[in-house]
């Protein structure tokens, strides 16, 4: 069967003004147990690429600049 792309709201929010991915930081991407974060090379910041979050918070706690916020996924809120 052909595939469709679904849009989904994602719980992890990254503040571009604080994110230092452009300087080579990948801490949040490295620590995510579900590997759902990625670096947007054009914007130079991290973002949540896959809506597969365990809302566990290492990305937020380990971020050196406080750029990451983990929200509770909408379906659970």
Partner 1 sequence: MSTPKTETLEADVLVIGGGTGGPMAAIRAKQANPNLRVVLLEKANVKRSGAISMGMDGLNNAVIPGYATPEQYVKEITIANDGIVHQQALMAYANGSYDMIRYLDSLDVKFEKDGAGDYAVRKVHHMGTYVLPMPQGHHVKKVLYRQLRRLRIGVINRYMATRLLTTPDGRIGGAIGVNTRTSEFLVIRARTVIMACGAAGRLGLPASGYLFGTYENAANCGDGHAMAYHAGAELANLECYQINPLIKDYNGPSCAYVTGPFGGYTANNKGARFIECDYWSGQMMLEFWRELQSGNGPVFLNMTHLAPETVGEIETILHSNERPSRGRFHAGRGTDYRHRMVEMHISEIGFCAGHSASGVWVDERARTSVPGLYAAGDMASVPHNYMLGAFVNGAIAGEEAARFCAEVDLPEPDPDAIAAEQERVLAPTRRTDGLTPHEVEYKTRRLVNDYLAPPKITAKMRIAQERFAEIRDDLNALVARDPHELMRALEVQSILDCADMAAAASLYRTESRWGFYHYRIDHPETDNDDWFCHTMLFKDSDGAMRHRKRAIDPYVVPVDATEMTAYQNLRIVPAEAAE
Q: Smallest gap, in angstroms, from Cβ of residue 72 to partner 1? A: 5
71 belongs to the binding site for partner 1 (CB under 8 A): yes
Secondary element (H or E) of residue 47: strand 45-48
Q: Smallest gap, in angstroms, from Cβ of residue 62 to partner 1? A: 7
30 belongs to the binding site for partner 1 (CB under 8 A): yes
Q: What CA–CA distance (Å, rounded) separates 77 from 66?
A: 23
Q: Which residues contact 7 (CB under 8 A, 6 or more apart)?
A: none
Tell me how long the chain is. 77
24 belongs to the binding site for partner 1 (CB under 8 A): no
32 belongs to the binding site for partner 1 (CB under 8 A): yes
């Amino acid at each position: 069967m052909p595939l469709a792309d679904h849009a989904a709201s994602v719980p992890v929010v990254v503040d571009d003004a604080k994110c230092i991915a452009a300087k080579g930081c990948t801490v949040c991407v490295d620590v995510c147990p579900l590997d759902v974060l990625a670096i947007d090379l054009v914007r130079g910041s991290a973002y949540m690429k896959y809506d597969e979050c365990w809302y566990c918070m290492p990305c937020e706690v380990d971020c050196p600049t406080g750029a990451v916020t983990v929200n509770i996924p909408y379906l659970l809120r």
